[in-house]
Amino acid sequence: MDIPPPSPDYRKYDRRERPVTAMAKDFPGGHSTGEHQHPTGQLIHAVHGVMVVITEQGRWVVPPTRGLWMPPSVRHELRMVGEVRMRTAYVHPGSARDLPGQCAVIAVSPLLRELILAAIEIEGPYRDDTRDGRVMRLLLDELRQLPTLPLRLPLPADRRLRTICGALVAQPDDKRTAQEWADGLRVDAKTVHRLFLRETGMTFGQWRQQARLLAGLERLAKGARILDVALELGYASPSAFSTMFKRQFGVTPSAFFGAG
């Protein structure tokens, strides 16, 4: 029986002085990295499987056609939805200054995907004027120009809203209104609406809808049928779920994982 090679330690990559380093690492389904951080920025991408990335500021779902840009020194946890083959690049802080200052999901173009794979093969030191140096510079150029995508669920700091958001993430089909939540928390419904807008940039209804859609995305990644997902999340029909999904993500659920 073939023995798989040892899993690489990310600390051998994210502490190098080069502008970009990259590594490949595979994870079993259900694995969690635990909370950690890197001194570098990180482009998190998987050629197979779906990742859920959690920070104090929000929760992101990252399928194979997408990547997540993580700025330097942001504490985060990765949870694997099914088996994940992660291919990630670390960007030295000096090369990350003109990249987003917050986490952002990006569309991974075919060119960027190939550049990440090429970067993984570059082991030793490289000069800017060599082929390896040009690959890394092109990777950074491609990363800078890619648009961000709405796969984020912002998390509020307010303790009362955290109670609501935690319950909705755990049970996305919860149909309680803002008024019912307000009654349970002994505050005015207007307070709930005002806090959601202030702390997440979304209304209560928009936040709940986003939570449902991202929960649906996770379930679809595990192989669930659209019909079952729609009913589990409280939609009246699969078509209602598909319509809302396409409105938010630009493609239908069935086309999502093949979208490039």
Q: How many CB atoms are closer than 10 A to CB 151?
A: 23
Domain boundary among 94, 127, 149: 149
Q: Where are the alpha helices (DSSP H) in the chain?
A: 110-120, 131-145, 159-170, 178-185, 189-200, 204-221, 226-232, 238-249, 253-256
Q: Looking at residue 250, what is its pLDDT?
A: 79
Q: Which of 149, 179, 200 is the last residue of a domain?
A: 149
In a domain? residue 4: no
pLDDT at residue number 45: 94
Domain containing 179 — which CATH number? 1.10.10.60
Task: Supply the range of the domain harboring residue 22.
Answer: 10-149
97 and 81, same structural domain? Answer: yes
Nearest to 88 by CA among 71, 60, 67: 67
Q: What is the mean pLDDT of each run of 10 residues along the chain (260 residues)?
A: 54 84 93 94 92 91 89 95 92 90 89 94 88 94 84 90 94 93 93 95 93 90 88 91 87 70
Q: How many domains does the chain have?
A: 2
DSSP state of 120: H
- Number of H helices and E strands in the chain, helices first, is 9, 8
Residues 106 and 149: beta-carbon distance below 8 Å:
yes
pTM listed for this prediction: 0.79
Predicted local distance difference test score (pLDDT) of residue 64: 83
Judged by phi (left if over 0) then psi (alpha if -120 to 50, else beta), residue 234 lies in: left
For residue 56, tell me if it sits in a domain. Answer: yes
Last residue of a domain, one of 149, 177, 207: 149
- For residue 4, the model assigns a pLDDT of 42
Residue 132 CA to its chain's centroid (Å):
28
